[in-house]
Structure 1
Amino acid sequence: MLSTAHRLTDSSSFQQVVRGGRKAGSRTLVVHLAESAEPARVGPLVGFVVSRAVGSAVVRNRVKRRLRHLAREHLASLPGSAVLVVRALPAAATASYAELEGDLLRCLVRAGVTV
């Protein structure tokens, strides 16, 4: 599980990253990546957006759990000042774990992260 120190929870930070960050998309995900100006942080921050369009509460929670686990696995590849927002698209509801991982890695590379 992704530790709370690395979670993005502030709505204004979500807006800043989505509006000002680099964007890369795939069939199941859209990734927004920005560099933070805050120097006194533990490391990169990651936030998730999984709307009702993805599915019922059970499906949305499953997608969020998978994305949190994938983000934790690839947290070390992000720069220390990075702020990442991962937005799930409706196709994420039926995607397997391997498909989500492949799409996340592909989006991170497109956004400029060396994985």
Structure 2
Amino acid sequence: MRHFPGDRGQRTRARRAGVRDHRRPAARAAGPAQGQRRALPGRRARIPGVTVVDDAVDAAGRHGVAVARTHAGERTEWIFDKNTLEFLGERGVMVEDTAWAKAGQITATTAVLNRGISDEPGESSRRAN
């Protein structure tokens, strides 16, 4: 779905119709650009409510450093490779007991295993890694 400045009504109608905006998941899968990767550790310390988890594990079992934010007893972690700062995946962890989960329980986990680029929608992508 293409968006243009001032199309707020169009996006609202699309959400109501069940159309999903795929920009955010795509941005997560790609991770930050090379120049932004180097700046990430310094920037994250300046964002209120954001913490760093020195050893987080994605769904594939890879260890990395995570930028995390806690809301309603759950910490959402965006996990990056410690050396390259390439985005590895996400993890949700309960940090306090709630009615539906106990502290320490993993609530969600993902891993980016492959990235690729295609010229047209529906085409198989060329492997980027």
Q: TM-score range by the shorter chain?
A: under 0.3
- Higher helix proportion: 1
* Higher RCO (C-alpha under 8 Å, 6+ residues apart): 1
TM-score (norm 1): 0.25
Question: TM-score, normalised to structure 2's length?
Answer: 0.23
